[in-house]
Structure formats: structure tokens, C-alpha cells
A and B are shown apart, each in its own frame.
Chain A
């Protein structure tokens, strides 16, 4: 059974600081997704990572994938308040179409 773990579960950081969220998964997969969720809202797609060594960047967020280590990271550079949200990684179950298994989420709070 595929399991996805994120850490930390909660992160409070000051504006301007850098930090990394980690996503570990238990079995082989060929696709990993990062989503953002604001309180009371649905999930917004951030990144799709498809191969070992893949790196994608959008604004202050950068995601990477190491399939050998079964690890993805979401790096936040010079955080701003608008990045406050919950971030989920999700892993596609190989061989079962596009079914996704989500991590528990990392709640990010950026303070002034």
C-alpha cells in the first residue's frame, strides 16, 4: 500500500526566510504533484514532477523529485504572507490510472 508522509506538519516562518517541506513516499511512482489549499477552498495545482531529478520553479516556490530516494521537496524562498496555506504532495499509484494518494499536508503560516 502506497503511503505518503510530509514534514513538517506545521510551519511558522517569518517573511523573507527560506524553508523546505519534505514529502516521502513508500513505493515506486512515476508522478508526483504538489497542491496548495487555502482555508475553506479547493486544491490548486502547483507542480507536476514526472522524472528523477525533475525540478520546477514558479515564483518563490521550487519543487524537486528524487525517485531513487522516493523524496520530493518544496522549497520556499524569501517567504511572503500570501504563501500562507496548506501544501499537499500527492503521488500517483503506478498501474492504477491516475488515482492519487495524498500526504497529510503542511500548514504554512508566514508572519510579518
Chain B
């Protein structure tokens, strides 16, 4: 079946622009995660949804970052007034069940470059 998909795959933004990154999880997956991966680093947790509820947003680096999953499937990560330090790969992951042993399945990521 289809895996996690993300769009766009690449995004170039001028500093100060707003961007929106989309994630389509695997159909039926309850849990959805966003991670930020800086060049040469491991992914860092941003936020987590169970269905449409955002249960953990402790990793969002500032109030310029906002995520939503209004119908419990597709999710959007929005970054307002982008800064150069926001340049990174943004990874979305989904898993079937909350709090289970299930693996998180990652999408291909959106590579964001802020100029």
C-alpha cells in the first residue's frame, strides 16, 4: 500500500515568508508526528497528533510554528515569518495505534531552504 507522502518535496522561501508543508499519513494510521532534521543531525521531535487532537507540541521551537490535523488524516505544518534557522528537512511519520510498540513510518520529507 501507499506509504506516507509529503508535499512539496522542496521549498525555497525568502526570509519572512509563510510556508505550509503537507503530510498524508498511511491510511488508517491514528498517530502522526512531525520532526525537524537539520543537516548532519538526527530528527528532532516537533509535535504529535492522535487523530485530530494535538497531544504534544513541546518540540515546536517558537510560536511561529503551527500544526493542525483537522479531520484526523492529512496534517499541515505551517511556519510563519520564516527565518534562516528554519532551513531543514521536515519529516512526517505515522503509526497505527497510540502508545503501542508499532514502528513510526516516515515520509520522504520536505526540504526547506530559507534565503
| CB neighbours of B45 from chain A (8 A) | 99-101
Tell whether, in the assembled complex, residue A105 and residue B55 are in contact, meaning their CB atoms are under 8 Å apart.
Answer: no
Q: How many A-B residue pairs have CB under 8 A?
A: 60
Which residues of chain A (19-67) have a CB below 8 Å from chain B? 31, 33, 35, 41-45, 48, 50
Known: A98-B48, A98-B100, A101-B45. A43 touches B56 (CB 8 A): no
Contact A43 B31 (CB under 8 A): no
Given contacts A42-B91, A42-B109, contact A100 B41 (CB under 8 A): no
Whether the pair B41, A45 counts as a contact (CB closer than 8 A) is no
Q: Using CB atoms, name the residue of chain B closest to A4.
A: B42
Q: Are A97 and B99 in contact (CB under 8 A)?
A: yes
Which partner residue on chain B sits nearest A48 by CB separation?
B103
A104 with B31: CB separation less than 8 A: no
Min CB–CB distance A8 → chain B (angstroms): 14
The reply to whether the CB of B82 lies closer than 8 angstroms to some CB of chain A is: no
Q: How many residues belonging to A are interface residues under a CB distance threshold of 8 Å?
A: 23
Q: How far is the CB of A2 from chain B (nearest CB, A)?
A: 10
Q: Which of B100-115 contact A (CB under 8 A)?
A: 100-109
Given contacts A41-B108, A88-B42, A103-B42, contact A97 B101 (CB under 8 A): no
Residue pair B100, A105 in contact (C-beta under 8 Å): no
Evaluate contact between B100 and A43: CB separation under 8 angstroms: no
In the complex, A59 Cα to B97 Cα: how many Å?
28
Give the docked Cα–Cα distance between A103 and B107 (Å).
Answer: 19
Among A43, A44, A97, A98, the residue within 8 A (CB) of B43 is A43
Q: Mark A51-89, 1 if CB is under 8 A from B, else 0.
A: 000000000000000000000000000000000000010
Expressed in whole angstroms, the Cα–Cα distance for A92 and B76 within the complex equals 24
Within 8 Å by CB of A50, from B48, B101, B106, lies B101
Q: Which residues of B contact A50 (CB under 8 A)?
A: 101
Hey, which bits of chain B sit against chain A, CB under 8 A?
A: 31, 33, 40-45, 48, 50, 55-56, 91, 95, 98-109
